[in-house]
Each structure stands twice: as C-alpha cells, then as structure tokens.
Amino acid sequence: MTKYKLEYIWLDGYTPVPNLRGKTQIKEFDAFPTLEQLPLWGFDGSSTKQAEGHSSDCVLKPVAVYPDPVRTNGVLVMCEVMMPDGVTPHSSNMRATILDDDGAWFGFEQEYFFYKDGRPLGFPAQGYPAPQGEYYTGVGYKNVGDVARTIVEEHLDQCLAAGINHEGINAEVAKGQWEFQIFGKGSKKAADEIWLARYLLLRLTEKYGIDIEFHCKPLGDTDWNGSGMHCNFSTKYMREVGGKDYFEALMGAFEKNLEDHIAVYGPDNHLRLTGKHETAPWNKFSYGVADRGASIRVPHSFVNNGYKGYLEDRRPNSQGDPYQIASQVLKTISEVPTGAEGSVSAAA
Ligand code: ADP
Ligand code: MN
Ligand code: MN
Ligand code: MN
C-alpha cells in the first residue's frame, strides 16, 4: 500500500468569476487510484460563498483524476460541488449544466498576463515598454524578459506530465502576455483540463512571486491587447455532415442567443470586444471566413470541406469559466435541428 496525497480541487461560489480552491487528504491505495476509488469529501461552504454558517457543509464529488506532476505520490482530483445529499449539484456547479456529448470537441486558447508589483511582467515602474509589435511569438530578452519563458516551459512540462492534452504555447501581442491551448474530446474534457492547467500555473508561479492576471483588459482603454480564451468547437454532426444550410441555421441561433453567450463569456468583455485589436464589438454578432475581426471565425478548411469541421468563437475572454462557455455553446447547438427536417430549404 502507498500513501497518496489527494488534492481535491473545486470552484468556489464567488461571482462573476469563481476561484480555484484545493485541499489535501492522504489515503492509502494499492496503485494509483481510479476515479471510482476516490471518496466523496466535504468542505466548509461558508468560507467559499457556497453556504451559510449554520449549515455549512458542501460535498466534493471527484469527476476527473490526473497524476500530480510535482508531488511525490500526488493526485489531482477535479471535483464538482454537490449539496449535502451528495447527488444534487450545488447552484455554483456549472459543470453539471453541460450536456453530455462524447462527440463534442473543444479547444480553448487561454491568454493571460504575468503580473509583478501590480503591472505586467517586464513593464517599467513608470510608463510603458516599447509598443506592441515584436512581442507576439517573439524571442530575446527585450521581448520576453528573463523569467517568463522558464515559467511557461515548466508549466507546459507539468501539464504534459499530468496527462493534460496541452496543444501548444506562444508569447502574445502584449509584453508579459502568453497563451496556451488545450484540446479535448467529450463535452467536459477540455474545460476540466483548462481549470487544472490554470491551477498548475497559479501554483507554479507562487515560488516566483509572480501572479497571473486573467482579467480580459488589465491595461484598460490603451493600445495594449486584452486577453481572450477563444473557444474552438465542433460536434460529430458538424464534422461529418455539416453543410451550408446547417451552418447558416447554426449562426442564426448564435445570433439569436447573443445575450446568453456574452453573459457567460467572462466579465468586463465590453472593455475587450470593442471592434479594435482583432475583436468584434460585443453587442453585434458576426461571422466570417478567416476573419479575426468577427465574433465567429470560420476556418478556410471548414468552407473547403463543404461547411464541415470546427468553428472558432473568438468572444470568450481569459477570465471566462470554460464550463459555462461549453455549456452555452452546446445549448445553442442543441436548438438547431439536424438532418433533413432541419435543413433550411435547399431550393431557396
Ligand atoms: P489560432 O491562434 O490561429 O486561433 P490555435 O492553434 O491557437 O489557433 O488554436 C486552435 C485550436 O483549435 C486548438 O486548440 C485546436 O485544438 C482546436 N481545434 C482544432 N480542431 C478542432 C476541432 N475539430 N474541434 C474543436 N477544436 C478544434
Ligand atoms: Mn491561438
Ligand atoms: Mn492568441
Ligand atoms: Mn484563436
């Protein structure tokens, strides 16, 4: 038997953006534990805005398990928060609202800033560094400084060692700004892994005395880019059947549900989705082939393959909850009929 350090990780009840929380319990197992072997656990919901003091117990239900790349015999246990009965999802539990769909694939592009002393890493104490231009995918001390890449590489290695389906990294347009991408098959997989990757990044940067700023427009109304979390998505139907009529019906549903999408695409998004800096205005839905100034970018490959494949919703921001984003995207998709009965008149 081996004693494992189980880090139970969950999202608290803060709004509009939940915080990651985690605590450790030690348990003995013959081998690395499976999800089924991991017990329910509890926490004091009155300290996380999830319960009142007089009835404070909330339940943690393990939903995904990964090896902890840092701790000896460590286990990362992603959890949903449940009511004391252990079966009813807590009102803060947005993962439970995602439609189950093994054929849904999501790829999220998480942008973020490193922050130190209240400003982006690499910014001088007064004023600004050289304007944007050479930082994006840049190399060299003047572009990326002396520590950011070390952290980014360490984070990448940790994600890969944990088995997170990390797909890549790049330095972003603003100084101190970076991106990583995570892709997952299944409606909840990529969202689980974004939250775990955020957890690993926040935990890693503790030792560097550096914070992660997830806000979508930390430098306000300036010529410095904001941060997004583009949501690339596809369903089995989109990949295998698709078609122009279905695509147009889908875009119609996205347009109709604009408010519902913006409501869960991260706070303060009107500061970022201004129509400048490769964004579309937040209150006007648009789509376009290879258009990085549209709400939804339609890849060339999508059109070339007969309107089949994946689409990129560019509106979700860096602070968005991938559970709520995936949930809303699938809800809107589910409103659009598939098959013959759903296609808009082909003769039209
Ligand atoms: P860009 O910066 O040009 O928008 P990235 O390479 O950063 O592109 O991100 C593209 C994302 O699209 C990746 O996360 C990738 O996993 C995802 N993706 C690719 N194919 C699919 C698909 N069929 N369904 C959903 N997501 C996809
Ligand atoms: Mn990208
Ligand atoms: Mn980017
Ligand atoms: Mn993108």
pLDDT in tens, the chain (348 residues): 999 999 999 999 999 999 999 999 999 999 999 999 999 999 999 999 999 877 889 999 999 999 999 999 999 999 999 999 999 999 999 999 999 999 999 999 999 999 999 999 999 999 999 999 999 999 999 999 999 999 999 999 999 999 999 999 999 999 999 999 999 999 999 999 999 999 999 999 999 999 999 999 999 999 999 999 999 999 999 999 999 999 999 999 999 999 999 999 999 999 999 988 778 899 999 999 999 899 999 999 999 999 999 999 999 999 999 999 999 999 999 999 997 544 444 443
Ligand nearest to the CA of 168: 1
Same-domain pairing of 73 and 193: no
Same-domain pairing of 267 and 240: yes
Per-residue confidence (pLDDT) for residue 347, from 0 to 100:
41
Is residue 282 within 8 Å of residue 269, measured between CB atoms?
yes
Q: Which atom of ligand 1 is nearest to the CA of 107?
A: 14
Partner residues linked to 170 by β-bridges: 179
Which mutation among 181, 308, 312, 318 tests ligand 1's pocket best, with the greatest number of atoms within 8 A of CB? 181
Per-residue confidence (pLDDT) for residue 276, from 0 to 100:
83
Per-residue confidence (pLDDT) for residue 342, from 0 to 100:
46
Residue 111 CA, ligand 3 centroid: distance in Å: 6
Query: Which residue's alpha carbon is nearest to atom 19 within ligand 1?
Result: 107
Q: Which residues contact 98 (CB under 8 A, 6 or more apart)?
A: 187, 188, 191, 323, 326, 327, 330
Same-domain pairing of 188 and 258: yes
Q: Which amino acid, residue 137?
A: T
Residue 277 CA, ligand 4 centroid: distance in Å: 13
Q: Residue 108 region, left (φ>0) first, then alpha (ψ -120 to 50), else beta?
A: beta
Same-domain pairing of 214 and 178: yes
Same-domain pairing of 53 and 127: no
- Identify the helix (H) or strand (E) that includes residue 161: helix 148-162
Same-domain pairing of 213 and 82: no
Residue 85 CA, ligand 4 centroid: distance in Å: 41
Q: Which atom of ligand 1 is nearest to the CA of 181?
A: 14
Is residue 23 within 8 Å of residue 36, measured between CB atoms?
no
Partner residues linked to 116 by β-bridges: 119
Residue 195 CA, ligand 2 centroid: distance in Å: 18
Distances from the Cα of 242 to the Cα of 6, 19, 44, 222, angstroms: 43, 37, 47, 40
Q: Which atom of ligand 1 is nearest to the CA of 108?
A: 14
Residue 172 CA, ligand 3 centroid: distance in Å: 6
Final residue of a structural domain among 42, 71, 93: 93
Final residue of a structural domain among 53, 75, 93: 93
Same-domain pairing of 228 and 258: yes
Residues with CB under 5 A from ligand 2 (ion): 109
> 93-98 contacts: CB < 8 A, separation 24 or more?
94/11, 94/321, 94/323, 94/324, 94/327, 95/63, 95/188, 95/191, 95/192, 95/323, 97/323, 97/324, 97/327, 98/187, 98/188, 98/191, 98/323, 98/326, 98/327, 98/330
Q: Which atom of ligand 1 is nearest to the CA of 179?
A: 7
Per-residue confidence (pLDDT) for residue 54, from 0 to 100:
79
Same-domain pairing of 80 and 110: no
d(CA 241, CA 223) in angstroms, rounded, equals 42
Per-residue confidence (pLDDT) for residue 212, from 0 to 100:
98
Ligand nearest to the CA of 172: 3
Q: Which amino acid, residue 289?
A: V
Count: domains in the chain: 2
* Domain interval for residue 118: 99-346
Same-domain pairing of 27 and 141: no
Final residue of a structural domain among 42, 70, 93: 93
Per-residue confidence (pLDDT) for residue 340, from 0 to 100:
56
CATH of the domain at 324: 3.30.590.10
| Pocket of ligand 1 from Cβ distances under 6 Å | 105-107, 109, 167, 181, 183, 230, 232-234, 309-310, 312
Same-domain pairing of 210 and 82: no
Is residue 176 within 8 Å of residue 76, measured between CB atoms?
no
Same-domain pairing of 146 and 183: yes
Per-residue confidence (pLDDT) for residue 344, from 0 to 100:
47
Same-domain pairing of 76 and 138: no
Tokens of 208: 């560097």
CATH of the domain at 79: 3.10.20.70
Residue 191 phi, psi dihedral angles, 5° rounding: -65, -45
Q: Which atom of ligand 1 is nearest to the CA of 234?
A: 24
d(CA 38, CA 64) in angstroms, rounded, equals 10
